[in-house]
Amino acid sequence: MSTLPIGTYTCELPGDAGGAPGKLVPEYEFRIVNSSSYKAGGIRGSYLFVGDRVTMTGGKHKGLKLHRISSNFLRQVKDDGRDGEMRCVLSAHN
């Protein structure tokens, strides 16, 4: 088991081919507050990080699954286990 770096993760959907930037998804933003806890929308929750998969096990995002692509980059995992479009990036270290 591992932990994510402490800080705020900003989530977005990709932009379009016309050059539009990514579309922020503020309702998915979260902040890692210690080794296995996060805060989102003022609610504290917990997460489990095993291998390259992060699963929110409590709190506002309970059930959300993420694939760690790199140390500061996560991608939402769809119900079928494949990577989805939403990405979450460590945007601020606390």
Domain-embedded: residue 19 = yes
Residues 32-91: pLDDT tens digits?
A: 999 899 999 999 999 999 999 999 999 999 999 999 999 899 999 999 999 999 999 998
Structural domain containing residue 27:
7-93
Its pTM stands at: 0.90
Domain-embedded: residue 34 = yes
SS (H, E, C) 14-49: CCCCCCCCCEECHHHCEEEEECCEEEECCEEEEEEE
Burial class of residue 42 in the structure, from the number of CB atoms within 10 Å of its CB (0-12 exposed, 13-18 middle, 19+ buried): exposed
Domain-embedded: residue 2 = no
Domain-embedded: residue 46 = yes
Domain-embedded: residue 1 = no
The count of structural domains within the chain is 1
Domain-embedded: residue 29 = yes
